[in-house]
Amino acid sequence: MINVIFDMDGTLIDSANAIVCAVNEIRADLNLEPLKREFVLDTINTPGQNYAKIFYGVDTYSHTSFKEGYEKYFIKHYNQSVVLFDGVFEVLEFCKKNDCYLAIATNAPQESLVPILKKQNILSYFDKILGVSYGIEAKPDPMMLRLIADEAKYEKSVFIGDSLKDRLCAKNAKMDYIHISWHKEIKNLDEANDKTTLIEKIQTHMKG
């Protein structure tokens, strides 16, 4: 069998609306105009951005995650509007029935992960959850994937994500990658767009 490592936001949970609302509530409290949804989502999925400068007008910001220091805003909106993508339970069940080692590698702050995953009733599926914290670099740095792979049960690993940062992270870690674009047109061979195509991709890596 294999180790299957998932990104969280945009891969397991549909958090786009929560992220946009949280960013714009922070901006409102800083007396800044709201940003358009597409701009916020494009920015967070693009590596190498100065997120705090772009979102909050902050020049000095020591965190690699744009959520750190503003957790209360994100917790509020995650509780209000985050849902699992349709088919996530079936994908996780398939992996567990096939004795895969399951993990999460996300740029969300480490301390926020357990409440989010508990609320969505998927925490128990995972053997390891890893987010950004002191000494843990954000993706596309390969640190998280390497730490998980070193600790995991099997020699072979595949990472499943939804953004350029995820794709680059897998490349930097020299790890196989599946790109999930829920309910969108498939454009590349490594892409899936629903539970059926995602399970098929995972099966291919199991056999390979």
Query: What's the pLDDT tens digit per position in 153-182?
Result: 999 999 999 999 999 999 999 999 999 999
For 139, other C-beta atoms within 10 Å of its C-beta total: 27
Distance, CA of 166 to CA of 207 (rounded, Å): 23
Instruction: Give ∠ CA 35-42-47 in degrees, rounded to 5.
Output: 125
72 or 97: which leads in pLDDT: 97
Q: Which residue reads 């291919």 in tokens?
A: 204
- In the prediction, which pLDDT does 20 show? 95
Name the band, by pLDDT with cuts 50, 70 and 90, for residue 88: very high
Distance CA 32, CA 156 (A): 47
How many other C-beta atoms can be found within 10 angstroms of the C-beta atom of residue 99?
A: 10
The pLDDT assigned to 62 comes to 60
pTM score? 0.89
pLDDT at 116 over 80: yes
- Is residue 65 pLDDT above 70, yes or no? no
| Helix boundaries (H) for 69-194 | 71-81, 88-97, 113-119, 143-151, 164-173
d(CA 142, CA 162): 16
* Average pLDDT of the residues of the chain: 93
Question: What is the share, in percent, of the chain residues with pLDDT greater than 90?
Answer: 78
Strand partners, 21: none
